[in-house]
Amino acid sequence: MDQPGETTHFGFRDVPLGDKQTLVNDVFHSVASRYDLMNDLMSMGLHLVWKDLMINALNPPRSEVPFALLDVAGGTGDIAFRAAKAAGAGFQATVCDINPDMLAVGRERAAARHLDHQVSFVEGNAEALAFPNKAFDAYTIAFGIRNVPRIDLALSEAYRVLKPGSRFLCLEFSTVDVPGLDRLYELFSFKVIPPLGRAVTGDAESYQYLVESIRKFPKPAAFAEMIRAGGFARVNWQTLSGGIVTLHSGWRL
């Protein structure tokens, strides 16, 4: 239960904890149909490179050995599709996302790629997963955790559904720490992304939220501490593209 008066961030705004998910859902409802195009434009295709680095770390078996991936906040399915491409016939992915509009785009993309036998889409909340304990061989979450109101709950749910000996991987925007690049990134984020969002999706505010939420997300060392507090061991991270993105990893032992 939320305590009365408990607040959190929605971008730069302080909002009641209980309101954040509705605000986040409005963002992804608004942008779902053009979400993939905007990702390509905003990151100039780099998001696919970051996602492939996550798939390399995941390293799913290329054989018929069964391997069950849970991709939370999986949206339109990029991580699941790329993992399926890298894996063998024993691979199965469940994409879990709270937003039916994002999932609908994902289902269409899976059918177009003839991946519907290996990738399924399930509506659900990262904070309270409707899966049994120790059900999955890996848990991924890409650019999702920063949108979840109670990150600690999402992390303990990740731990609960993973089999012992399996891995948690999280790709998230981070803090640019390269002199020169930091100012350029700041300018690009605040001056280019919201107007681009307006031009492509008709919605600048959702992309203003995106850039603000990135600034509010904990720095890698602090987030690694949260992952440890969720029960994970051998926690580490790798910064990518000058700190634009960080790949976090932890193991359920």
Ligand X SMILES: C[S@@+](CC[C@H](N)C(=O)[O-])C[C@H]1O[C@@H](n2cnc3c(N)ncnc32)[C@H](O)[C@@H]1O
State the residues that interact with ligand X by CB under 6 A: 21, 24, 28, 72-75, 78-79, 97-99, 102, 125-127, 142-144, 147-148
Among 206, 3, 232, which residue's Cα sits nearest to residue 139?
Answer: 232
User: In this complex, which beta carbon is closest to ligand X, that of residue 98 or of residue 227?
Assistant: 98
Q: Using the minimum distance from each CB to ligand X, give the nearer residue, 44 or 164.
A: 44
Q: How far is the CB of 210 from ligand X (least distance, A)?
A: 8
Minimum CB separation of residue 22 from ligand X in Å reads 10
Spatial distance between the Cα atoms of 66 and 86, rounded to a whole number of angstroms: 14
Smallest separation (angstroms) from ligand X to the CB of 80: 9
The residue behind tokens 């994002």 is 102
In whole angstroms, what is the distance from residue 92 CA to residue 122 CA? 13
Distance of CA 190 to the CA centre of its chain: 21
Rounded to a whole number of angstroms, the minimum distance from the CB of residue 246 to ligand X is 14
The residue whose Cβ lies closest to ligand X is 75
Minimum gap (Å) between residue 78 Cβ and ligand X: 5
How many CB atoms are closer than 10 A to CB 145? Answer: 22
- Angle between helix axes 35-43 and 46-58 (nearest 10 degrees) is 100
Would you mind telling me the total number of residues written for the chain in this entry?
A: 253
